[in-house]
Amino acid sequence: MPFRPFLALVLALTLGPTLALPLGAQPPGGVVVSQERLASEAGAQVLREGGSAVDAAVATAFALAVVHPAAGNLGGGGFLLSRPTRGQASFIDFRESAPASAHPRMWLKADGAYDEARHHESLASVGVPGTVAGLREAWRREGRLPWARLVAPAVRLAREGFALSENQAASLAEQLPAFARHAPTLAQFSREGKPLRAGDRLVQRDLARTLQRLAKDWTDFYRGRTAALIVRDMAANGGPITAQDLRGYRPVRREPLRGTYRGFELLAAPPPSSGGQVLIESLNILEGFDLKAAGSGSPAAVHLGAEALRRAFADRAQFLGDPASAGDIPLARLLSKAYAAELRATIRPDRASASDPSRFTWEPDRPHTTHLSVLDRAGNAVSLTYTLEESYGLKRIVPGAGFLLNNELGDFNAVPGLTDATGRIGTVPNLARPGRRPLSSMCPVILVKGGSVVMVSGSPGGRTIPATVLNTVLNVVDFGMGARAAVDAPRFHHQWLPDRIQVEADLPAATREALKAMGHTLKEVPKQGCAQVILVRGGQAEGAADTKRWSDSGVASE
């Protein structure tokens, strides 16, 4: 079959004899939605055994590290947003951090020129991984089943292997030239340098041994045998991460960002993710427009959505970074309804604005992440997004450990002071510094109404992530769609710079032409993001997989 990018198998698993419930009632079953069938089944079985939503998320995430190596990971990082039925919502930041040797000019050559390869393709781009510590912290707070039980499915999948689907095999084959630059990676993901085919079993014995160690003692990753393997690889090849960097890593518990939109409460990601800021700020702006009357996919709805995103992304570039070292981030102002009203007044309903890299004011005129969503039978919800940065990260296996390293420090601004029309940002809040966590666009979100979770959403896709999530929220709240329709509807994105709207190919041609007439520049893409949505609506809990991005989706029920 023709190659289809390794983008998303998403599986919705429904548990219990029925998921019928009125809005605000406790759901009698649970749902797991992720990008791989086997990973979602691992999480679903945990729910069947009485595990919590966090238990299921942890099991699913570890399994994704085996069956979805493009983004599922041990060697990366991310964010976990949890909304329990009892107690306060919480947010675990397990974003990768810069090693002690990091500095703002680390991506420049001796002559001051930007070195893109060093920024994105070298060991210097690897951040101290946070995934294992973050999953453990979430489990410590809200887990019920034993830790080893949650890691066990991943151990089994790595040790015994699993049959590759056509999409998985095509994805690995596409990466063979990159894998060939590092012998351990090529050995793990090929058959003596030849592409694996659909139906072949992918067995990852080194990864299985690493997972077995982590099942017994999670700290092995940061100060045991696994840590030693990481440090040995770094030392032998000029990498910056030291044993001290690994021992010093800590996940951070943060307060979720909170907003409201048309009567719904939103819980979203705080810095160092910009996803929550972009989402809530954009929704605040759009709340003053009648999008329902405009209609889904209409020129007016896309234009207004793009203009809201343009302004939110400009604020992202100017203000957002790691809150530990980026200075005062004016979140209260950025997320206020009054500020949204000011920005709304600068939007012309019939004309595109202009993005100017030299200013952040308005005249009054990589994308390879993975997301999973979980709702358990008690109504507890988890929205988890994590990543290796690019697809397969650095495309480099830690020898003897079997997992891929991230190239996440590529999310730091490249050249201090240089912000240009291509989308390169050089503002101070997101420059590399020791221990700093690079700015992210990940956007796990949970919507609540009447005291109960009604929607869990998220997506991969680099800077397009907040826009993809925004599309799913608008589709549900403004356009009255169910989960399946909300995931399948055409999407759009604007990120301030470069100054253009990205639109999916199935956006109506009439809408595209009308947007051009308003002065917008369009970039057409086949698909954007990979939304993973759970929705409680009309007496039903629905899990929707992004089947338009990945053909192997499926539903399993208890």
User: Apex CA 474: angle with CA 83 and CA 496, to 5°?
Assistant: 100
- In the chain, the N- to C-terminal Cα span, in Å, equals 33
Residue 345, helix vs strand vs coil: coil
Q: Peptide bond before 434: cis, by omega within 30 degrees of 0?
A: no
Element (H, E) at 63: helix 53-67
Q: DSSP code of 361? A: -
Catalytic residue among 131, 369, 427, 464: 369
Nearest to 60 by CA among 93, 15, 13: 13
Active site annotation includes 369? yes
| Structure-block tokens of residue 121 | 């393709």
Rounded alpha-carbon distances, angstroms, from residue 349 to 108, 301, 344 = 43, 10, 10
Cα separation of 171 and 106, whole Å?
32
Q: Are strands 501-504 and 522-525 parallel, antiparallel or unpaired?
A: parallel
Residue corresponding to tokens 């048309």: 262
CB atoms within 10 A of CB 523: 10
Cα separation of 339 and 284, whole Å?
9
Residue 195, helix vs strand vs coil: coil
Cα separation of 40 and 48, whole Å?
12
Cα separation of 354 and 335, whole Å?
22
Q: Are strands 381-387 and 445-449 parallel, antiparallel or unpaired?
A: unpaired
Cα separation of 127 and 498, whole Å?
27
Q: What is the dihedral of CA 65, 381, 133, 71, to 10 degrees?
A: 30
Sheet of strand 501-504: strand arrangement: 492-493, 501-504, 522-525
Cα separation of 438 and 95, whole Å?
8
Q: What is the dihedral of CA 60, 166, 173, 533, to 10 degrees?
A: -40
Cα separation of 41 and 34, whole Å?
9
Active site residues: 369
